[in-house]
Structure 1
Amino acid sequence: MTDLATLAAYGVLTAPATLTIERRLPGPIERIWAYLTESDLRRQWLAAGEMEMRVGAPFEFVWRNDELTDPPGRRPDESSEEHRMTCRITELDPPRRLVITWGANEAGEVAFTLVPEGEEVVLTIVHRRVPDRTILLNVSSGWHAHLDVLAARARGETPEPFWDHWSRLRREYETRLPA
C-alpha cells in the first residue's frame, strides 16, 4: 500500500508542458536557500556552479551525478559522467524565490519557491516549457531523484544510490505521466 507521503513525492503535470514537484525539508528557510544557491551545497544534491545573486546573471550548472551518492548505482548508457548547462537568473527574492532559465536558448524555466511551515520548509519546483515527452520523463525522474538526495542530506541521512533510484523513477513516470 502506498502512503500519502509517497504519493506526494511525485511530480505532477500542472499544465501540458509544466511539471510541479515539492518536498518538505527541515528548516530554517535560510538553510534550504543555501542548498539552492551555494555551489558547494548544491553540488551535494543537484549540480555545482557559482551564482551571482542578481537578476540577469548567467551561471553554469555542472552535473556529476556519479558523485552524489556512494555507491552511485549503475549509470544508464545514454548518460554521461558530466553534463553542463548555462542558465540565467530571471527572478530573485531571497530566501523565498529563485527563477532561472533552463535548456538550449533559454527555452525552459524553473522556479524554486520556499515557504516556511513551522520548523519545516516546503520547497516547490515548477519546471515550465518542457519541450517533449522524453525530456519530460527525464526531468520528472531527475527532479524527483535529486530532491530525494536533498531531503536525505538535509536530514543527515544517507541517500540511496542515485542512478538506481533515477532509473526506477524513470520507469514509474513512464506510467504516471500521460503520453
Structure 2
Amino acid sequence: MTLIKKEISVNAPRETVWRYFEDPDLLAAWLMRNNFTGRLGERFQLFGRPSSEWDGVLDCRLVELDPPRKIAYTWNANDINGETLVTIELFEEGDGTRIRLMHSNFEHAARDVEAVVRRHDAGWEDHLRILESQFLKEVTGERTAPGPIDWTRFDLHVSIGAEPRKVLDAWSTVDGMEGFFVEMMRITDPEGIERPANEPARPGDRFIWRWPTGRCLRGEYLVTKGDDEVRFTFGESKVCISVQPYGKGTLMRLRQFDIPDHLDARMHIHANCRGAWVYFLTVLKTLLEKGVDGRDMSRETGASFSTYFNPASVGVAY
C-alpha cells in the first residue's frame, strides 16, 4: 500500500485547530471550497481549480469523526478514478498542536498510481503550508502595533518564475526597462556613447526615462554588481534591486532609500512610489512568466496607478 504521511506543528490549542477541519469556511481557507456538512456517513465535495487532468471536483464521504482528535473521509476524483482515504489526527503538544495527515489506499486508483501519489504529495505539502500559516500572527492580524514608520526607505519583495540574470537584465538594459517600466529609455556611458539596447548598464552610466504620459526623468546607475544587484538614482532618492535564486525562479527585492523626510516627500515619493512599484512589479512578473505586457500605455490614463492621477483630467467625474 502506498501511503502519504505529513506532520506539522502549529502554535494553537487543539480545539482551535480542529475548527479548520469541521467549519466549511475555515476548511476552504486552507484546502478548497466545499459543501461539507460534518455529518458522519454523508457525502460532500471539494472544489478546486480544474486542470488538463482534473475536472476540479473531489468526491468525498465522511467515514470517521472524533472531535477534536480525528477525522477521516474518502477522496476520489476523475484524475484518480478510485476511492482513496484521507485520515487526519490532532495531538496536543505543549501549548500547541501536532497535525498528522495520512493519505492511503492509492492502490485503488485506476490511473498511473506513481503519478497520482506524486501529485497528491506535492499538493498536501502546499495545502499544509497554507494551514500552518493560518496560525501565524502576521496572517491572523494579531501583530502588535508597528514602531514609527521610517519615511526615508521601504522594501518590496516579489517571487518571479525566471532566472536571476533575466530579472536583473530587466532593470539594467534598455530592452528590459522598456519592456515593463518606461516607454523610452536611453543609456549612455561616461563618455556620452549610447549603449546598445541589450547591453547592461555599468556604474557611472547615465540614463533618461520617458513614460507614456510624457514625463521624463534623468538619472545614473550607481552599482551593477555581477548577477545579484543593481542600484540607480531615482529623482531625489535611490533604488536598489537585488536578486537571489528561489525555488525554480528568483526572489527579487526592491529597496527605495535616501528619501527626503518632509511631508511632501512622504506623500509623493514614499507613498506614491511604493504604490506605483507594486503595479510595475506585477507587470514585470506577468511579463517574465507569461510573456504579457499588462501596462496601460495610454497617454490619457497611463498614470492611473499613481497618486498624481486625477480622473477629472480625462473628463471623468469622480
TM-score (norm 2): 0.39
1:35 aligns with 2:20: yes
* Residue correspondence of structure 1 range 53-64 to structure 2 within 5 A: 53-64=38-49
What SS does structure 2 have at the residue aligned with 1:121? strand
Q: Is the 8 A contact 1:86 1:103 kept in 2?
A: yes
Q: CA deviation at 1:150?
A: 0.9
Distance 1:38 1:78 in 2: 30
Which one of 122, 131, 136 corresponds to residue 98 of structure 2?
Answer: 122
Q: CA 1:92–1:19 in 2, change beyond 3 Å: closer, same or farther?
A: same
Q: Higher helix proportion, which one? A: 1
1:96 aligns with 2:69: yes
Q: CA deviation at 1:45?
A: 1.1
* Residue correspondence of structure 1 range 95-174 to structure 2 within 5 A: 95-104=68-77, 107-130=83-106, 131=109, 132-157=113-138
1:44 aligns with 2:29: yes
Q: CA 1:118–1:144 in 2, change beyond 3 Å: closer, same or farther?
A: same
Q: Give every structure 1 segment of 4 or more consecutive aligned residues whose post-TM-superposition deviation is greater than 3 Å.
A: 77-80
Between Structure 1 and Structure 2, whose CA radius of gyration is higher?
A: 2
Paired residue total = 135
Unaligned runs of 5+ in 1: 1-15, 66-76, 170-179
Unaligned runs of 5+ in 2: 140-157, 162-246, 249-318
Instruction: Provide the alpha-carbon RMSD of the alignment.
Output: 2.6
Q: Is the 8 A contact 1:35 1:41 kept in 2?
A: yes
1:84 aligns with 2:57: yes
Distance 2:138 2:14 in 1: 19
- Percent identity reads 27
What SS does structure 1 have at the residue aligned with 2:39? coil
Q: Is the 8 A contact 1:85 1:103 kept in 2?
A: yes
Distance 1:151 1:109 in 2: 22
TM-score (norm 1): 0.67
Distance 2:137 2:49 in 1: 21
> Which amino acid in the other structure matches residue 25 of structure 1?
V
Structure with the greater relative contact order (CA < 8 A, sep ≥ 6): 1 or 2?
1
Q: Is the 8 A contact 1:38 1:50 kept in 2?
A: no
Distance 2:36 2:122 in 1: 25
> Which amino acid in the other structure matches residue 29 of structure 1?
R
What SS does structure 2 have at the residue aligned with 1:154? coil
Distance 1:43 1:106 in 2: 24
Q: CA deviation at 1:106?
A: 6.0
> Which amino acid in the other structure matches residue 70 of structure 2?
R
What SS does structure 2 have at the residue aligned with 1:17? coil
What SS does structure 1 have at the residue aligned with 2:8? strand
Distance 1:121 1:106 in 2: 32
